[in-house]
Amino acid sequence: MHAETMRDRLIVGLDLPTVRDAEQAVRELEGVVSFYKIGYQLAFAGGLDFARELASGGTKIFLDMKLLDIDNTVAKGVENIVKMGMTMLTIHAYPKAMRAAVEAARGSDLCLLAVSVLTSMDEQDVIDAGYEYDPHTLVLRRSEQALHAGMGGVVCSAEEAEAVRRIVGPGMAVVTPGIRPKGSDHGDQKRVVTPAQAIRNGSSHLVVGRPIVGAADRRAVAEAILDEMRSA
């Protein structure tokens, strides 16, 4: 893979408290990173307008909203997110919600991602949430449902990427958060993998937040992660 391709596969999570902080991070990473994730923290601090602004300038944005609601509400939300020019959007992997989202995004370039099981959850957490499956089985079952619903990809732990890739085939995105470069702190993630391992396991995109945005030299850390991805 040449450099540009790997650059398109690294998504930096702008998990920061204010748009001003996020603007600073984007400035520092200019020329190294071309794809950013905006989630709840920033979205509720003016991040949706910031996302629209970045997208209009050609930056790719993964809007991590994990939508789940009645079909009509999901569909109307997706229609407006398409108009914002977003590249990726997460939907909880419930079959009805996924089908509604796919229908609403039809004809657009928006890649809809099915959130299978959060990477902060282990087996006990899944049982506590009322599921009869272990995390691995639940991820595979939901990946199959995402494929049948016509989704653009699946979000899962890089530990599961290989098994998910076998189910969804080469065409769908397999997006893996919980990526921690060698020697970094795991934070609240329970199922974590290094960048090189994730690429080898079949991840199409790696989401890295705190290890980059929390670093003293964000640019150097991002470049080191890209090097590690290329080495795989």
User: Per the annotation, where are the binding residues for substrate?
Assistant: 15, 37, 64-73, 119, 180, 189, 209-210
Active site residues: 64, 66, 69
94 — phi, psi (to 5°)? -95, 125
CA–CA separation, 17 vs 44, rounded Å?
9
CA 202 to chain centre: 14
3-state secondary structure (DSSP) of residue 214: coil
CA dist 22 and 182 (Å) reads: 25
How many helices (H) does the chain have, and how many strands (E)?
12, 8
165 and 199 in contact (C-beta within 8 Å)? no
Give burial (CB, 10 Å; 0-12/13-18/19+) of 187. middle
The rounded distance, in Å, linking the Cα atoms of 179 and 221 is 13
Taking alpha carbons only, the member of 201, 196, 104, 193 closest to residue 149 is 104
